[in-house]
Structure 1
Amino acid sequence: MCANHITDYEIVKLESNRYQEWDQYVVSHDEGSFFHLSGWKTVIEETFKHQCHFLFARQHNDIIGILPLVEQKSRLFGHTLVSTPFCVYGGAIANSEAIRIALEDAALRLGQRLAVDYVELRYRKAVNNPNFTQFCHHSTFGLELATTPDDILASIKKKQRAVIRHSLKNDLSYRIDKDVDVAYQVYSESVRNLGTPVFDKKYFTNLSKAFADQLDVLTVTNAQNEPVSAVLSFYFKGEVLPYYGGGLHEARALKSNDFMYYQLMCHAQRSGCRRFDFGRSKDDSGSAKYKASYGITPEPLHYLRALVRATEQPNLSPNNPKYALFINGWKRLPLWLSRILGPYLSKYLG
C-alpha cells in the first residue's frame, strides 16, 4: 500500500523490521491489547494463509497509531477485512482521535480497493466514525482478582461458588505447562460436541511459538490422570485471558471446568496478574450466562462495520437458524473426521 500523506504524517504498511517498535507502541498505549501485537500477523499468515494488512501512522519515523487488518476471502463465507479475526478486540489505537479516524478511513479505502463485502473493526470501547456503523451483539466479562485463593473464591457469586467448592472435593488434579497438544485434543473434542468446526492443530503450535513467554496451558486430570478439561491462556499487562478452553463429556459431572477456571484465577494472581479477562460471548448465549454466574457484569463490545459490496449486515452467528442443520450434523461427526474437515471451515470463522 502506498503512503497516504495526511497533514504531517503518513499511513504505511508494517514491515518485519518494525515489529518490535509496533509491539512497544501497543504495550505503552492505554488501549493496546494482547490482540494488537504483531505476533498475530505471523500466526495468521502462517496458519491460515490470509493476507495481512497491518497499517501504522508515522510521523518523523515514529509510530503514532496502528491498525491490524486481515483479509479473509471465501466463496462460502464472503470476502472481508477485519481487525482482527480470531481476536475478541481490535481496531485502531493512536495518539489522537484524528489519527485513529484517519487509520479507520484508510482501512475503508483499502477495503474498497480490495472489493470486500465489508470492513469490521472490533473495539472494546465505543468510538465514533461517521463512515462506520456500530453494532453490539457481544459482551466481554472480566473481574479484578482478589489477593488470596480464599478471597478469590469469596468474590464469586454464591451459587457458582458452591459449584467450585463441590469441584474441589472431587478427585481432580491440575498442571500448568505449555502443552498445546493436550489443549488441542481437549478443545477439539469440546467444540465438536458443540457442533463447531475446530482450527488446524498448527494454529495452537504457532500461537505457542509467537507468544512463548505470554502463554500457558492449564490441564485438569481425573483420578486416572487423564485430561478432562484444559484451557490455553494468554498473559498481558497484568491480565490473564483464558482463550481456548473446554472439557470432555465427563467434565460436566466432575465440574472440572469450574475447577479449572478457579485454579487459573489463583495461579494468575500468584503470577502477578491483577485481572481475569473471561473474554467475549454473544449476548444471551449459554456462554454469557455461565460467565455471568461468577457475578461478572457484562460490558458491551462496540464493534464497527462498514458495508462495501454487501447490501445487508451479515449474520454468521451459530444462533442463526439456517446453520442449525449443519451444527447438529457436525456434532455427530467422528472426532478424527472433525479434526480433518474443521480447519477448512474454521479459518474463515474467526
Structure 2
Amino acid sequence: MEGGEIEVFDIAWRRDRPVREAIERFVQGHPEASAYHRPVVLDVMRGVLGLAVGYLVARDGAGLRGVLPLALSSSPVFGRFATSLPVVNYGGVVLAPGQRYDGTVARALVRDGGAWARRRGARDLTLRHTEARPLALPATRRKETVLLPLPSGDPEALWRSIGPKPRNLVRKARRCGCEARVLDGPGAVGAFHRVYAENLRDLGSPSLPQRWFEALRAVLGRRFAIHVVTCEGRLAGAAVSVLHGESYEVPWASTLRAYRSQAANMLLYWHLMEHAIASGARVFDFGRSTPGSGPYRFKLQWKGARAQPLPWYVVGRQPEAGATAGSLTPDNPRYARAIALWRRLPVPIARVAGGVLTRWLP
C-alpha cells in the first residue's frame, strides 16, 4: 500500500554509502529489477564510458519505495539523450512490493527523472522496461526479448524439449570438433572481445571497449561469466552471461563467420543453457533483438522460446521524434554509408574506434 510523505532524491555518488548499500539490497532481491539497476554498474558507465549518471531514490519513513537509475549520453549525431539505461538491455523504474506503477511513487520518479534529463539538456528520457506498465507515457516497441523457461536442475529435460533441428545442429558442431566451456582467468575478457569486435565490425556496428567488460566482470563477480566455443582448438565464438535472481541473460554473444557452417553458435548456446540450469536459473534470456532480424529468428528456433515485446517509455517527447528513434543497424538506410565504411575497417582500428563511438550511442 502507498502512504506517507515520499521524498525523491538523487544520491550523492561519493558520500551516500549507506544509501547505496540499501539500494544494492533492494535491487538484488527484487524480481522486477535487473543486474544493471545496481549502482556499481552505473559506476562502470561513468568510469569507463564517461557518461553522466544519476540514481533517483524514493523513500518514506518505512524505507525505500522505488528507484530509477539514469545515464546521459551526448552525441554529435543523436544530440543529448537520457536513458535508463543505455548500452545494456534493461532499466527503468523499480518499485517496492505494494507500490503501483500508476501511483504516487512511480509518478514522482518519472517526473523527477524527466527533470534530471532536462536540466542536462537532454531531448528526452527513455525508460527501458521489460513489461508494460501503466505509466501514462508514450512507448515504442521496436525491440523484443526472447525468453526460454528452464527445467529445474535437469538439462536432459531441456535437451528433449528444444526440438530436433537445434539438437541436430549441436551434434553437428561436436562432429566438427567444436567444444564449448566457461573461460576463466585474466585472458578471458580479451578472448571474448576479439571475437565480439570482429563480428560487430562485420555487421557494421562499433563495439564496446574491452575495459567495459573487464570492469563489469569486476563488479558483478561470479554473476558474470565468459564462455567460448572452439573448433579444432581455434576460437570460433564467445559470449557473456549475467545471472540475476532466476534470470540468466546473454547480453553479448558472437561467433565468427568462418565457423557458422559448423554450427558453432548452436553449440555455444546449448552450453549456455546447460550452464544456466547449473546456476539455478529458471529463465534463459536471449537478450533483445529487432523482430524479423536474423538474431531474432535464431533465438526463436529453440522450441519453447517466446518473444516478449519491450516497452520503452519516453518522457518529454513523442517516441517518433526522440533521439533514440534512429537505430544504428545494418538495415537502417540513414546510416548505410557509415555502416559500409565501418565494415571495411581493419579489426584493430575498429576495436579502438568502437570504444570511443559507443559512448555516443543509445
Instruction: Give 3-state SS (helix, strand or coil) of 1:31's partner.
Output: coil
Q: TM-score, normalised by structure 1?
A: 0.92
Q: TM-score, normalised by structure 2?
A: 0.89
> Structure 1: 5+ residue runs without aligned partners?
1-5
| AA matched with 1:187 | Y
Q: Is 2:249 the partner of 1:241? A: yes
How has the CA–CA distance of structure 1 residues 157 and 327 changed in structure 2, closer, same or farther, with 3 Å as cutoff?
A: farther
Q: Tell me which residue corresponds to 2:350.
A: 338
Instruction: Give 3-state SS (helix, strand or coil) of 1:125's partner.
Output: coil
> 2-side partners of 1:116 and 1:271: how far apart?
40
Q: Tell me which residue corresponds to 1:121.
A: 127
CA deviations 1:263-315 (Å, max 9, x no partner) are 11112212322221111111221111111111322011111013459982332
What is the aligned counterpart of 1:326 among 319, 325, 338? 338
Q: Tell me which residue corresponds to 1:137.
A: 142
**Structure 1 vs Structure 2: percent identity of aligned residues?**
25
> 2-side partners of 1:222 and 1:122: how far apart?
37
Instruction: Give 3-state SS (helix, strand or coil) of 2:172's partner.
Output: helix
Q: Tell me which residue corresponds to 1:3.
A: none
Matching of residues 95-244 of structure 1 within 5 Å: 95=96, 96-97=99-100, 98=103, 99-130=105-136, 132-146=137-151, 147-178=153-184, 179-223=188-232, 225-244=233-252
Q: Is 2:22 the partner of 1:12? A: no
> 1-side partners of 2:114 and 2:75: how far apart?
19
Aligned length: 343
> 2-side partners of 1:170 and 1:118: how far apart?
50
Q: Tell me which residue corresponds to 2:289.
A: 281
Instruction: Give 3-state SS (helix, strand or coil) of 1:53's partner.
Output: strand
> 2-side partners of 1:205 and 1:247: how far apart?
20
Q: Tell me which residue corresponds to 1:266.
A: 274
> 2-side partners of 1:155 and 1:47: how far apart?
41
> 1-side partners of 2:30 and 2:106: how far apart?
13
Q: Tell me which residue corresponds to 1:74.
A: 75
C-alpha contact 2:89 2:251 (8 A) present in aligned 1: no
> 1-side partners of 2:107 and 2:310: how far apart?
18
Q: Tell me which residue corresponds to 2:44.
A: 43
Q: CA deviation at 1:170?
A: 2.1
C-alpha contact 1:180 1:232 (8 A) present in aligned 2: no
C-alpha contact 2:126 2:314 (8 A) present in aligned 1: yes
C-alpha contact 2:180 2:267 (8 A) present in aligned 1: no
Instruction: Give 3-state SS (helix, strand or coil) of 1:68's partner.
Output: strand
How has the CA–CA distance of structure 1 residues 322 and 348 changed in structure 2, closer, same or farther, with 3 Å as cutoff?
A: same
C-alpha contact 2:138 2:318 (8 A) present in aligned 1: no
Instruction: Give 3-state SS (helix, strand or coil) of 2:127's partner.
Output: strand
Q: CA deviation at 1:159?
A: 2.5
> 1-side partners of 2:335 and 2:221: how far apart?
36
How has the CA–CA distance of structure 1 residues 273 and 311 changed in structure 2, closer, same or farther, with 3 Å as cutoff?
A: closer
Q: CA deviation at 1:149?
A: 3.1
C-alpha contact 2:226 2:240 (8 A) present in aligned 1: yes
